[in-house]
Structure 1
Amino acid sequence: MPGVLVLHGFTSHPERTMGPLPERLRAAGFTVAQPALRGHGTRPEDLAGVRWEDWLEDARAAYATLPEPRAVVGLSMGGLLAAWIAAEGEARALVALAPALGFANPLAPLAPYLAPLIPRFPGPDSIRDPERKRRNPNYPYFPTRAFVELLELARATPARLAEVWCAALVVEAGHDRVVPARAVRRYHALLGSTHKEHVRFPESGHDLLLDLEDERVAAFVTDWLVRVLAPTPPSPPERVD
Structure 2
Amino acid sequence: MSNVLVLHGFTSHPILTMGPLPEVLRRAGYTVLQPTLPGHGTRPEDLVGVRWEDWYRVALEAYRSLPEPRALVTLSVGALIGAKLAAEEGTSAFVAMVPALGFVNPLAPLAPYLRWLIPTFKGTNSVRDPERKKNNPNYPYFPTGAFVEVLELCRQVPPLLPRITAPALVLQAQHDSTIPEAAVRRFHQLLGSSSKEYKVYDSEHDLLLDFRADEVAEDVNAWLKRVFPPKES
Instruction: State the TM-score, normalizing by the size of structure 1.
Output: 0.94
Q: Deviations over 1:9-44 (max 9, x none)?
A: 000000000000000000000000100001001110
Alignment map for 1:82-231 (pairs within 5 Å): 82-201=82-201, 203-230=202-229
Q: Is the CA contact (8 Å cut-off) linking 2:122 and 2:140 kept in structure 1?
A: yes
Give the whole-Å Cα distance in 2 for the aligned partners of 1:36 and 1:231. 24
- Matched residues, percent identical? 62
Give the whole-Å Cα distance in 1 for the aligned partners of 2:158 and 2:141. 27
Amino acid at match of 2:173: A
Deviation at 1:67, TM superposition (A): 2.4
2:16 corresponds to 1:16: yes
Gaps of 5+ in 2: none
Q: Is the CA contact (8 Å cut-off) linking 1:31 and 1:67 kept in structure 2?
A: no
Q: Secondary structure at the match of 2:37?
A: coil
Q: Is the CA contact (8 Å cut-off) linking 2:2 and 2:230 kept in structure 1?
A: no
Give the whole-Å Cα distance in 2 for the aligned partners of 1:78 and 1:230. 23
Deviation at 1:56, TM superposition (A): 0.8
Gaps of 5+ in 1: 233-241
Cα RMSD (Å) of the superposition? 1.1
Q: Deviations over 1:46-77 (max 9, x none)?
A: 10111111111111111112122110011000
Q: Which runs of 4+ in 1 moved over 3 A?
A: none
Instruction: State the TM-score, normalizing by the size of structure 2.
Output: 0.97
Give the whole-Å Cα distance in 2 for the aligned partners of 1:72 and 1:231. 14
Q: Is the CA contact (8 Å cut-off) linking 2:30 and 2:230 kept in structure 1?
A: no
Q: Is the CA contact (8 Å cut-off) linking 1:120 and 1:141 kept in structure 2?
A: yes
Q: Secondary structure at the match of 2:58?
A: helix
Q: Deviations over 1:83-123 (max 9, x none)?
A: 11111123110000000000000110111111000100111
Partner in structure 2 of residue 53 of structure 1? 53
Deviation at 1:183, TM superposition (A): 0.2
The total of aligned residue pairs comes to 231
Structure number with greater Rg is 1
